[in-house]
A and B are shown apart, each in its own frame.
Chain A
């Protein structure tokens, strides 16, 4: 199943243990582009990127631009924030029931 982003959206906060994930639509065929800011980038940057890319793949999204501002989030938090950012970006405004 493939999904298409309708708009830019974000989820999460910049509080400790959280991650703010911003997603926006990308040109068809441009793939998944991820930038990460994190105090533990050197130690966990690859792991954070892998968690984000796995989440994007799970959602069936091919073209997306992602910026992640990490504050030491666990993988399950990364997944939760990514899922909601994508959900907000793919949902029609009028049917969105948060």
Chain B
């Protein structure tokens, strides 16, 4: 199981941040060539990120957020970065399947040129506009390279003519649509950033809410947000205990050839068994042991 609980953005033109990015334990690092890099430093960031991933051994999955291929920078980004074989290319402001397929073709060509295994460079896309959201499933399923769909909240709410709030109602539909599209396509759903790094309570509330919705992870902008996300995504001791009991009850019912399974007076059916299996597999993947003790 590939974990993408925390995907940390790292500005692509900052050597200090690039060289230290691997020490914080994020599941994935997103080296950014787009919004955090000024127009006249695009060449510099592209080269710096290329040298960093070619020379520094990172323990996390490495994603590169390129500039959109409609801009003059997107194709040069890919031409430089693909030679260093990042794990993932993240396309921002995605609005159609064609954009994904265009990037996919460029990656395929690079894999052939550099003799990388076919399909070894994956893709994810960020939906950041109303137009993109209406095509979310097409985007999510546009290429076998696609492993995750993300919502870019700040641009999205600007496109909706509103702004971010603590309660997040303005993003509820978009988050739901992104999640549905990602699940239908069989890929990860990743939530947007929470920009106020000093509002820990707000961050925890938002991360808890998106975990409850079904998201697989959250984009983060500061190392101190990583452990908070990981804690929230770690199954509780109670959840693990319940999952184990469900599976024991299921096994016993199978042995008895009984069609009706119950646990503590509650009926257990197959979706509950599947959820229990997913909980235990996830607990195993995150190294949760006996689980997180709830506060």
Contact = CB atoms under 8 A, between A and B. Distances in A.
B16 A98 contact: no
Contacts of A16: 16
Contacts of A80: 15, 44, 47-48, 50-52
A74 B19 contact: yes
A83 interface: yes
Given A97-B72, A98-B73, A77 B42 contact: no
Contacts of A88: 43
Interface in B163-198: none
A77 B47 CA distance: 9
Contacts of A11: 44
Contacts of A18: 14-16
A79 B51 CA distance: 8
Chain B interface extent, by class:
20 to 34
B269 interface: no
Contacts of B16: 15-18
A17 B50 contact: no
A98 B51 contact: no
Interface in A54-88: 73-77, 79-81, 83-84, 87-88
A67 B163 CA distance: 47
Contact of A77 (B43, B51, B73): B51
A87 B54 contact: no
B248 interface: no
B15 A77 contact: yes
Nearest to B75: A97
Contacts of B72: 97
A98 B40 contact: yes
A76 B51 contact: yes
Contacts of B56: 74, 76
Query: Which one of B14, B41, B42, B48 has the greatest number of beta carbons of chain A within 10 Å?
Result: B48
Given A74-B19, A84-B47, A98 B41 contact: yes
B76 interface: yes
Given A17-B15, A18-B15, A76-B56, A98 B50 contact: no
Query: Which one of B14, B40, B47, B76 has the greatest number of beta carbons of chain A within 10 Å?
Result: B47
Contacts of B55: 74-76
B293 interface: no
A62 B47 CA distance: 22
Given A18-B16, A73-B15, 13 more contacts: A15-B14, A15-B16, A74-B19, A76-B54, A77-B19, A77-B51, A80-B51, A81-B44, A83-B47, A84-B43, A84-B44, A87-B47, A98-B40
Interface of A: 11-12, 15-18, 73-77, 79-81, 83-84, 87-88, 97-98
Interface of B: 14-16, 19, 39-44, 47-48, 50-52, 54-56, 72-73, 76
Q: Which 5 A-B pairs have the closest CB atoms?
A: A17-B16, A76-B55, A76-B51, A80-B51, A98-B43
17 contacts: A17-B19, A18-B16, A74-B15, A74-B19, A76-B55, A77-B19, A77-B52, A80-B44, A81-B44, A81-B48, A83-B47, A84-B43, A84-B47, A87-B47, A97-B73, A97-B76, A98-B39
